[in-house]
Amino acid sequence: MTEAVHPAVDLGLTGATILITGGVRGVGAGIAQVLADLGATPVVCARRPGDGDFEFHSCDVRDSDAVAAMIADIVAAHGRLDGVVNNAGGSPFALAADASDNFSRKIIELNLLAPLIVARAAHAVMTRQDGGGSIVNVSSVSGHRPSPGTAAYGAAKAGLDNLTESLAVEWAPAVRVNSVVCGPVETELSHLHYGDDDGVAAVGETIPMGRLARPADIGSAVAYLLSPVAGFVTGSTVTVHGGGERPAFLAAANVDHGAPAHQS
């Protein structure tokens, strides 16, 4: 699912040590690969290892002690921490009326509290090193439109984008904080959300660009925000959704929207 970045691209990330949470599969693995293609040193974490070749740390990012220990280990091994990508997250489908309080609490902890825990631990390191650092939070269009079946997830992602703006103001100029708002992404787990290949293709047809995002599409946006090329960009959201979703009323209305409009 990943694609190599064109070798002519140089964003100034060569040698940068960057932590990607949830970086062993899906979008996180795609981000790690893009960063590696650009010369960075990706370090990935998750609760369980995946199949990747990058340095791996086992960590529950909801546990502040575990996060602090992991970041201390990374700094001890590499000498510094240049960037963090808060990618770990997600939610299974559950209608709000049926979901337990504990279920909703865990979703909000993973998608909102955990990025704050990781960001705070990274901030403590970045403010003590030359050049500061950069943090990118991976958010979702679910935080900017109704999210039926994943209401707690959508609310957490909306909170994550607001958190991004607040931390950017508090931590400037040493640490830049931005977010990437993702639309649907095609990964090895897409069938769990969209069904078989036909279902994935049908969802892609609803997107103006004619397909789902690929992990490398997200990785390219993340790489830009982490890099010195974006040195004056902080508190921003970059939306990577292929043009968004075609409004439902256009399909429902009994009007030829391809015909020229006439006004009197």
Catalytic residue IDs: 153
CB 167 within 8 A of CB 127: no
What is the phi/psi pair of residue 137, to 5°? -95, 130
- For residue 66, give the nearest of 112, 104, 121, 128 by alpha carbon: 121
H or E, element range at 86: strand 83-86
Helix (H) and strand (E) counts in the chain: 9, 7
Helices 64-78/114-126 angle, 10° precision: 40
Residue spans of alpha helices (H) in the chain: 26-37, 64-78, 101-108, 114-126, 151-171, 190-194, 197-205, 215-226, 248-252
CB 111 within 8 A of CB 145: no
DSSP state letter for 18: E
Q: Is the dihedral of CA 57, 61, 64, 65 positive or negative?
A: negative
Which residues lie across from 19 on neighbouring strands? 43, 84
CB 85 within 8 A of CB 21: yes
